[in-house]
Amino acid sequence: MMTMTNRITMKTNMQITGLIISLMVATVAQAQPADTLVVRVGKESKVIFAIKDKQDLETLKHYNFQALMDDMLAKLEKRDTSSMSKSSSEYRKDTTQQETTITPSDTWVRDQPRDEDRDTYRRERRRRVRSYHSWNIDLGMNNYLENGHFPDGNNQLYTVKPWGSWYVGLTSTLRTRLSGKFYIEWGAGVSWYNFKFTNYKATLDKDDNGVIFYEKTDPVEYTKSKLTVAYVNISMVPMFDLGGYSRKPMVFNGDRLNFDRRGSFRIGIGPYVGYRLDSYTKQVWEEGGDTKKSHVHDNYYLNNIRYGLRAQMGFRDTDIFFAYDLNDLFIEGKGPRLHAFSFGITL
C-alpha cells in the first residue's frame, strides 16, 4: 500500500515534469519567429500583426475586420482593458466555412516567387525604369541622289550599284521615357557608307579645283571599285510606342517573350549629326592570275560634317530605319551635289 510520503513524492515529480514540458513548448514557440507587420497610427500608436503560420493568411481573408475594429475602438474609448467578449470565430464573414487547407504548391515562399510572378515583376520594373541602354546594329544599303534623281539616268561614273553598297552602323543607345508612351532614343556610335560603283574601272582623285571621277585604262580585269566613308554620329529620335515600354525586346535573347505582343508597335523621326573619321577608295583586280588590291586614303573634298533626319518604325523585336543627309556629300563647288541616304533594319 502506497504511503503518504510516496504519494507526495509522486505528485511533486509530476509537477516538475509538467513544468519542464511547459518550458520546452515555450522555448520551441520562441524559436519560430513570427512575420510581423507594424501599422503606425498617429504619432505614438501602432497596430501589430504577428503571423507564425502562413496558412493563417488564408484564414484572415474571411474575417470582418470592420466589425473587429469597431468593437476594439469602442473598448479603447471606454478605457476598458479587459479581453474581448466575442470569440474570434464571431468575426468570421462566413462562420460555416471550414478552415482552408493549403497545399504545398500554393504555399507562399518569400524567396522563391513563381515564374509568372517573376515575369510580372520584371515587366513592371521595366515600365518604371526611366532609361534603358542597348547596343543597336544598323544593317542596310546606301546610295545618293543628285538634284532629286539617281545618277544612273545620266550614266555618271559615280553611279552606285545598289546591291553591294552596304551601310553598317553600331550605336550605343539610351531609350528614355518622357511621359506615357513617348520616349527618346538617343546615343552615339560609328557608321560606314560603302558606295560601290557600277563601273569597276571608275575611281576618283582630286586636284586644286575639286574631285575628279575617271575610268582607268589599265589592261587588267577590275572586279570591284568603291568609296568608303566612316563617321562618328550622335542622334536623338523621339518615339511613340504603343506598348509604353522603356526598351524594345532584343532579337538575340528571350526578352521578346516577356513583352505584351498586343501593343509593341513604335514609330519616330529625329535628327542626327556626324563627323567624318576616315575615307578611302578601294579597287580590286586580277593580274597574272593573282588578286590585287589598292587602298588610297584621302578626304576627296568630302564634307567633314553630315547631318540629316532619321525615321524608324518597329514591331516587336525588329526595327526598320531610313536616314537622309540634308547636306551635300562633297564640299560645295568641289564635287557633284550628292545627298546620301541609307535604309535597312536595326537589331
- Cβ count near 156 (within 10 Å): 18
CATH architecture for residues 132-346: Beta Barrel (2.40)
| Residues 185-223 pLDDT 10s | 999 999 999 999 999 999 999 999 999 999 999 899 999
Task: List all residues 6 or more positions away from 346 whose beta carbon is below 8 Å from its beta carbon.
Answer: 136, 137, 138, 139, 312, 314, 318, 319, 320, 321
Contacts of 329 (CB under 8 A, 6+ apart): 144, 229, 302, 303, 306, 335, 338, 339, 340
Within its chain, how far is the Cα of 329 from the centroid? 35
Q: Are 141 and 162 in contact (CB under 8 A)?
A: yes
> Is residue 152 classed as helix, strand or coil in its secondary structure?
helix
Domain ranges of the chain: 132-346
pLDDT at 117: 65
Segments of the chain scoring below 70 in pLDDT: 1-39, 41-44, 49, 54, 57, 60, 79-91, 93-129, 244-263
Beta strands in the chain (DSSP E): 35-41, 45-51, 131-146, 166-179, 182-196, 202-206, 211-215, 221-241, 265-287, 290-297, 305-315, 318-325, 338-346
Amino acid identity, position 82: S
Q: Cell triple for residue 147?
A: 538634284
Report the pLDDT value the prediction gives residue 25, as an integer from 0 to 100.
45
What are the Cα distances from residue 70, in Å, to 75, 84, 156, 312? 9, 12, 92, 61
Ramachandran angles phi, psi of 310, nearest 5° = -120, 125
* Residue 316: per-residue pLDDT: 77
3-state SS string over 14-56? HHHHHHHHHHHHHHHHHHCCCEEEEEEECCCEEEEEEECCCHH
Backbone angles phi, psi at 75, to 5 degrees: -70, -40
Query: Which helix (DSSP H) or strand (DSSP E) does residue 122 occupy?
Result: helix 115-128
